Structure formats: structure tokens, C-alpha cells
């Protein structure tokens, strides 16, 4: 496997005013391969989002090392794009203005080439006809599509996604998962995907990392033996249901043991 992201014996302790601090992660060793779609599952508070923030260079580990393409992560790398739980859009810009904001922020202006590419990305996520709509005119799912298009504009090698569909209703969440797969299959990226949803993780991922309760450790890593491309038919595949049920048992037994 051509490793893109590596966590090597990573631990993370958050200081508190009194006492030894809160251990969020302990001894995480994990590799993410090029163009792999890796999903992270685990109970609330197990350090999933902390793992993503470490990869993004937003915080530093207190033990071990995080590297991207073999280089230690000391600040947000240029190779990454992040999609958060909520789209964090700017209400004073229309949809196109939000999609092109990274270029405006980084370079101070948006070229005609970049503007055309932003329109192409909006078309890719199904929002071509909404380019000049206000953000408050969009549904939650449409706003998250804008956030994804905005992230893709810089064409990052790596996508870090922190429960990007958690605020959406169940139907929109399924729709967005398939939309993400369609984009990823057309424009392959290395994806680190944080989620609480077992079916969502099984649907999108090549491999699943199951974490223990805090301090988060890698309990096990599972391959997802479902063929690609994935489709609505995947949701009816016995392998899909068997794997999802197996993961539920593993997570539930882990919580009982804790």
C-alpha cells in the first residue's frame, strides 16, 4: 500500500486546570493508503474527531508522530481539504461566492479559469442552477453540497470529513453518501471519514477502523468486501447487512466490556 497518512504511536492528552489531563487517544498506529476511503467508527468521546484534527495539523500529538507523504504534520498541509459537520457558509455570499471563497481568501481574487471550475464543481454536486441563490434559500443537504464543492475547488489530494452528514435527515443523508461516492469515483482522493453511522461507514468505505472508548485506541480494522461502484442495490446486499450487524455486535460488546 502506498501510504499517504500515517499515525505512528500517536497519543493526545488535553490539559485541564487540575489533574493529569484528559487522554483522548493512546497508541494509535494506522496507515491510510493513496485513494483509500477509510472510515472511523467508535463511541462518542473516543477521539475520532481528535484523530482528524491531528491529520489536519490543527492540533499536535502529545506522543508519537503524524505524517503525510512521509513529512511530519506541524501545520495544516496544502494537500488537505476539510469538510466539517456543518457547512460553515458565509451568508453575505451567494452559492458561487461561497464555492470560490478559498481562492479569494488565499489569493485575493478569483480568476476566470477558477470561476469556470467552480461552476463545473457546482454542476458536479447538482447545484448548477443555484449558483446565484442565497445560502438561506438552500436546504441543509444543498448547503453541505456547497461545502463539498468549496473544498474540492483547491483540488486537495486528501479529504478529511468529520461527520459531514450528521445534521441531515435520514433520506438526505443517504442521498449525500451516494453523491460523495459518485464524486470520489470520478475524482479519486484519499479520504478519512469520521462517522457515527454504521450503515454509512459500510456503504462508503474500503476499510473500517473500530475504536475503543476513551482513550481511543484502534480496536480492530475490517475490510469491506463490497464491490464498487456502490449503488442502491448495495443496501440490499446480504454482505452489507451481515457486516453492519457484525460491527454493531463488536461495538456493543466493547461498550459492555468498558
190 three-class SS = strand
Enumerate the domain spans of the chain.
1-79+158-165+189-258
Reference 162, options 59, 26, 50; nearest CA is 50
pLDDT band at 254 (very low <50, low <70, confident <90, very high): low
> What CATH topology corresponds to 1-79+158-165+189-258?
Rossmann fold (3.40.50)
Cell of 84: 466539517
How far apart are alpha carbons 72 and 67 in whole angstroms?
Answer: 4
Q: Which residue matches cell numbers 459531514?
A: 164
Each residue's pLDDT tens digit, 107-151: 777 888 888 989 988 988 888 999 999 999 998 888 988 988 888
pTM value > 0.85: yes
How far apart are alpha carbons 192 and 3 in whole angstroms?
Answer: 13
Q: Which residue matches cell numbers 469538510?
A: 83
How far apart are alpha carbons 170 and 10 in whole angstroms?
Answer: 34
Contacts for 244 with CB less than 8 Å, ≥ 6 apart? 198, 199, 202
Output the CA–CA distances (angstroms, integers) from residue 125 to 175, 176, 224, in the order listed.
11, 9, 26
At residue 36, φ and ψ (nearest 5 deg) are: -80, 145
CA 154 vs. chain centroid, Å, equals 16
Q: Report which secondary-structure segment, H or E, holds 79.
A: none
In percent, the amount of the chain with pLDDT more than 70 equals 98
Each residue's pLDDT tens digit, 52-103: 999 999 999 999 999 999 999 999 888 899 988 888 898 999 999 999 988 8
Amino acid at each position: 500500500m502506498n501510504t499517504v497518512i500515517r499515525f505512528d504511536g500517536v497519543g493526545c492528552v488535553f490539559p485541564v486546570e487540575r489533574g493529569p489531563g484528559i487522554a483522548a487517544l493512546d497508541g494509535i498506529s494506522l496507515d491510510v493508503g493513496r485513494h483509500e476511503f477509510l472510515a472511523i467508527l467508535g463511541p462518542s468521546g473516543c477521539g475520532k474527531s481528535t484523530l482528524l484534527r491531528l491529520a489536519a495539523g490543527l492540533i499536535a500529538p502529545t506522543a508519537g508522530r503524524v505524517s503525510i507523504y512521509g513529512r511530519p504534520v506541524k501545520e495544516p498541509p496544502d494537500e488537505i481539504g476539510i469538510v466539517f459537520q456543518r457547512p460553515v457558509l458565509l451568508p453575505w455570499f451567494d452559492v458561487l461566492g461561497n464555492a470560490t471563497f478559498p481562492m479569494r481568501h488565499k489569493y485575493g481574487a478569483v480568476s476566470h479559469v477558477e470561476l469556470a471550475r467552480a461552476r463545473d464543481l457546482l454542476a458536479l454536486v447538482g447545484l448548477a442552477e443555484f449558483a446565484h441563490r442565497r445560502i438561506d434559500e438552500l436546504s441543509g443537504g444543498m448547503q453541505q453540497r456547497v461545502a463539498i464543492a468549496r473544498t474540492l475547488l483547491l483540488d486537495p489530494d486528501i479529504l478529511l470529513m468529520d461527520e459531514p452528514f450528521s445534521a441531515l435527515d435520514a433520506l438526505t443523508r443517504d442521498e449525500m453518501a451516494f453523491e460523495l461516492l459518485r464524486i470520489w469515483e470520478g475524482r479519486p482522493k484519499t479520504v478519512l471519514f469520521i462517522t457515527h453511522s454504521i450503515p454509512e461507514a459500510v456503504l462508503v468505505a474500503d476499510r473500517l477502523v473500530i475504536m475503543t472508548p476513551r482513550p481511543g485506541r484502534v480496536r480492530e480494522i475490517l475490510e469491506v468486501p463490497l464491490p464498487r461502484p456502490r449503488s442502491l442495490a448495495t443496501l440490499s446486499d446480504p454482505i452489507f447487512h451481515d457486516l453492519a450487524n457484525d460491527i454493531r455486535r463488536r461495538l456493543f460488546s466493547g461498550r459492555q466490556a468498558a
